[in-house]
Amino acid sequence: MLKQKRPNKSRLEIVFKDQTSVQVYDGTQGWKVRPFLNRNDAEPYTAAETKLAAADAELGGPLIDYAAKGNKVALIGNEAVEGHPAYKLLVTLRNGEKRNVWVDAASFLEVKMDGEPRKLDGKLHKVAILFRDYKTEHGLSVAHLQESAVEGIKQTYKMTIAKVAVNEAMADSLFQKPTPAAAAAGAVAVPGAKTP
């Protein structure tokens, strides 16, 4: 389950082998709990994870209200994505990072985006994120399937969105790192989490 709250807060809960891992970014820093690795205490994000979370936490992505976010966008050409004509855009984020975004030429919806490169075997590999199966939810077109592919790796990673809720009330405490005393008492806010 992914929850996002303005300005740049995000909380991702993943159930794996009946245990719930949590990744949270509060707009400045992040933390994670990974019980399936026997890591039940909240650990801080690495510098790389914080950088990635800061880029991904923006609601609407890098194109919507791009100028207000401090991003710059330039059309650099046309390039088909999965057999469909698309516009290839170069987005320069406010922190100076650059990434390509492909927008479908007919629907004007994002169909592909450069992801954060992954370091494997001591080398950086490009990452492509594909957006598919758009459905209208609360008046918004939302991709219900996101697939990440790492260059040189056959296996891809798919995320399916089953439900979209808009403007639901969320307490700020969902994005706060638990205190060591609360974590020791089992008070980490992980609904349905099981400890070993």
Query: How large is the average pLDDT for residues 99-125?
Result: 93
Could you tell me how many helices (H) and strands (E) the chain has, helices first? 2, 12
Give the pLDDT confidence of 14-58 residue by residue, as tens digits: 887 788 889 999 988 999 988 877 788 889 998 888 887 877 767
pTM of the predicted model, to two decimals?
Answer: 0.77
Which of 159, 112, 163 has the alpha carbon at shortest distance from 135?
163
Its CATH architecture, for the domain 67-155, is Clam (2.50)
d(Cα 177, Cα 106) in Å, to the nearest integer? 43
Percent of the chain whose pLDDT exceeds 90: 40
Q: Is 172 helix (H, G, I), strand (E, B) or coil?
A: helix
Query: How large is the average pLDDT for residues 59-73?
Result: 88
The domain locations on the chain are: 1-59+170-188, 67-155
Choose the weakest-confidence range: 37-46, 48-57, 123-132, 182-191.
182-191
Do 144 and 166 touch, CB atoms closer than 8 A?
A: no
Q: What does the DSSP assignment read for 73-85? A: EEEEEE--BTTB-
Q: Is the pLDDT of residue 107 over 80?
A: yes
